[in-house]
Structure 1
Amino acid sequence: MKSFKDFEITPVIENFVGEKINTAKILDKEIVVKGYKIQPSKFENRGDRLDMQIEYRDEDRVVFTGGKYLIQMIEKVPKDGFPFKTKIIKNGEHLEFA
């Protein structure tokens, strides 16, 4: 009979690590985006929320944003494109990757 360990199944850890950082603090600064997930906002009628695992100043950090243009852009990054360097910039009234 097989043992569970013979299946070599490992858990998929979906929690991000590091302290939360506000997008305003990293605006126009180079970051490394390591991963992301999109989920419904915790606020009613706010749409989706983008959660990103980033590296900023050699530290793992977590960013939460409802920026719809950031969501649209990051969804187009191929899975093998992570991690990648970028900046979050303000273009008019919205945020986007540069």
Structure 2
Amino acid sequence: MDNLAWVAVASIMSAGLCIGIGAIGPALGEGRALAQALAALAQQPDEANSITRTLFVGMAMVESTAIYCFVVTMILIFANPFWQFFVERAATGG
């Protein structure tokens, strides 16, 4: 395999690892936050508005980590900064 193929393989593997591992933490965090919010609602139903508002803001913050991983994955696949370098180098034969 030439260098261009190795860059492609490394980019795709890195993107897969990034989104795969990067989604595990937010998923576990959101599940835990939801479980705690439901427990809080069961204990204090009068505070439902405050608990759900805080829950949604917290989940948005947790979900932003997964979105950042998704953005990095899209950059690795579609806008890889090394890709153009190796394409130009392969075209010149160097």
What TM-score does the superposition give when structure 2 sets the normalisation length?
Answer: 0.19
Q: Which has a greater percent of strand?
A: 1
Q: Which has a greater percent of helix?
A: 2
Q: Say which structure, 1 or 2, has more relative contact order (CA 8 Å, 6+ apart).
A: 2
What TM-score does the superposition give when structure 1 sets the normalisation length?
Answer: 0.19
